[in-house]
A and B are shown apart, each in its own frame.
Chain A
Amino acid sequence: SAVISQKPSRDICQRGTSLTIQCQVDSQVTMMFWYRQQPGQSLTLIATANQGSEATYESGFVIDKFPISRPNLTFSTLTVSNMSPEDSSIYLCSVAGEGNTIYFGEGSWLTVV
């Protein structure tokens, strides 16, 4: 199985600020995925991050708001920029691991005040 560590696990952020979430995997993976889960909702894919290329964003998500870095095969960051209360969500990193199983990190729970 893949072990995924996310930081921070929780944070309370001021409106208008930006926060970077880190995702570290214990093995090399080709693709990493970033999801958002708003309160009471299921998961929505933000973007797919490949090492060495620009991230691919889903409809409704843009690079200026959610810039992503993928400097190597075990690490990625997602930044939530110019935050508003609507950005209060759990942000989750995931990868495809052994046996084609999808694994998730514990999530980063952001509250914007």
Chain B
Amino acid sequence: KQEVTQIPAALSVPEGENLVLNCSFTDSAIYNLQWFRQDPGKGLTSLLLIQSSQREQTSGRLNASLDKSSGRSTLYIAASQPGDSATYLCAVITSRVDTPLVFGKGTRLSVIA
């Protein structure tokens, strides 16, 4: 059974810092890995999707990497801003796209102005 772990559970940084969020998964036979952002009381916003054949994806100040063999992914946020404060969730799909995601518990990020 696929399990997804995110470390740290919570993180507080001053504005402007670069930071890394970690995600690990137990079954390396994944189809996709996706990072989401969730603001309090809201739904999920997709940030980056990495397919199993890819090693990284970039969008603006965000960079996500994937190492399938070690079962790890990282989300790098450059020059953090208070607006980045949210919970970041990592999720994997272990077979086809029409099977549901397995989520980690998330990292709650606070960026202090």
Residues of chain A whose beta carbon lies under 8 Å from any beta carbon of chain B: 1, 6, 30-31, 33, 41-43, 45, 48, 90, 92, 94, 96, 99-107, 109
Contacts and interface: CB of A to CB of B under 8 A. Distances in A.
Interface of B: 31-32, 34, 36, 41-46, 49, 51, 89, 91, 93, 97-98, 100-101, 103-106
Chain A interface, DSSP helix/strand/loop, else mixed: strand
Contacts of A103: 46
A94 B101 CA distance: 10
A23 to B, nearest CB: 11
Q: 5 nearest interchain CB pairs?
A: A107-B43, A106-B43, A104-B44, A100-B97, A42-B105
B98 A101 contact: no
A100 B32 contact: yes
Contact of A43 (B31, B51, B93, B103): B103
A107 B36 CA distance: 14
A107 B31 CA distance: 25
8 contacts: A33-B101, A90-B43, A99-B49, A100-B32, A100-B51, A100-B97, A104-B44, A104-B46
A102 B43 contact: no
